[in-house]
Amino acid sequence: MNKFTSIFVILFVLGAVFACDSDYDPVNTAFGTKCTAQHHSTFPAPGSRSTALTPNDIPAAELAVHEERMRYILDIARSKNRKFVSSIYHSNGTLMCIGFNDLGKPNLISHGEIMAITNCTNLYGLAAYDGYDLYTTGEPCAMCAGAIMWSHFRTVVWGTYNHDLVCKICMSNIPFESTALFDTYETVKINKIRVIGGVLQQESDAWFGTYCDRPTNIFYIAPKCNCVNVNKTQTLSVNQTRTSSWIDGGNTQYSQWSGVITNIGTTTVTFPNFLSLPSGVAPQSIWGLSRTSVDDQWALAWNPSIAPGATFNFGYIISGNDKLNFYQE
């Protein structure tokens, strides 16, 4: 066991705490000012949406276990002031190992997942992890997803999506949906890994915070995601009103929004498309607009032409209390 392994096995307290910045407003920060091209850029590529299970797909009793384990590594992350923390559990529920990314020490591939796996191998001589479950605050990057596959894990669970790390948090990462790899499990001679994203997502996202307004930070990248030039003159204005909100039996809040698109220009607009922000957020249901084959892009569901002064109504139900912002492309 080398000294670094010992360091990662035995948790230690680090002094300085970086402040977690206030809420990130994509319209006023990264998307509006950092993207030079108007629209869809490199990530996510159309059709690359994560195929990971979400908490809504998981039975309540199982989800409670995942949440408890996610909360544990988030607590470690906060107490050690490190973003990427991973843990490994035996199928009997025993916590075996943890690991975290210690700001690129001892080398730049020492990501939380790699450290947790290495720790377990050093401690218990494990070469393969059939039947073991891995938890991580941030979705595995391309390298770690490969390592998890080669290690034969049974389950992988994360809090914050890569898409959000890159596109909303402005955190340097490989722009890649890990499920693109996990879905190819048959080529690695392993069973299908149960892949669950977004467990305690809000809490995890909040811990990652935002680097969008911290361009000198080592983690910062200018996101190359779906971008919109909010300064562009919009011929079609979109006004939205929240018509109701409620909390369902599962303690999830929903809100319903009513939108009116008005042609404030002088010519008829035909087949307009709209980009919705934040990127990757979809309504539970929507009417009047229909999704195109491009991520976060919407078209009018009927009568796709709006004359000057005319209006078009749409509406949707979304989890949470915030509306989607729609911009004419």
| CA angle 276–279–283, rounded 5-degree value | 60
Choose between 166 and 261: whose C-beta lies nearer to Zn ion.
Answer: 166
According to DSSP, the residues that pair with 255 across neighbouring strands are 245, 318
According to DSSP, the residues that pair with 192 across neighbouring strands are none
Residue 181 within binding range of Zn ion, rule CB under 5 A: no
* 3-class DSSP state of 309: coil
CB of 141 to Zn ion, least distance (A): 3
Residue 144 within binding range of Zn ion, rule CB under 5 A: yes
The H or E element containing residue 201 is helix 201-208
Q: Which tokens go with 157?
A: 């669970």
Pairing of strands 311-319, 305-306: unpaired
The site string for Zn ion over 109-138 (x = CB under 5 A, - otherwise) reads: --x---------------------------
The site string for Zn ion over 231-270 (x = CB under 5 A, - otherwise) reads: ----------------------------------------
User: What is d(CA 1, CA 267) in angstroms, rounded to the nearest whole number?
Assistant: 72
Single-letter residue type at 254: Y
From 116, 141, 199, 277, residue interacting with Zn ion (rule: CB under 5 A): 141
Task: Give the range of 47-55, 72-80, 104-112, 262-270 binding Zn ion by CB under 5 A.
Answer: 104-112
Say if CB 225 and CB 41 are below 8 A apart. yes
CB of 73 to Zn ion, least distance (A): 15
Residue 225 within binding range of Zn ion, rule CB under 5 A: no
CB of 281 to Zn ion, least distance (A): 24
- How many residues bind Zn ion (CB under 5 A)? The answer is 4
- Ramachandran area for residue 77 (φ above 0: left; ψ -120 to 50: alpha; else beta): alpha
Catalog residues that contact Zn ion under the rule CB under 5 A. Answer: 111, 141, 143-144
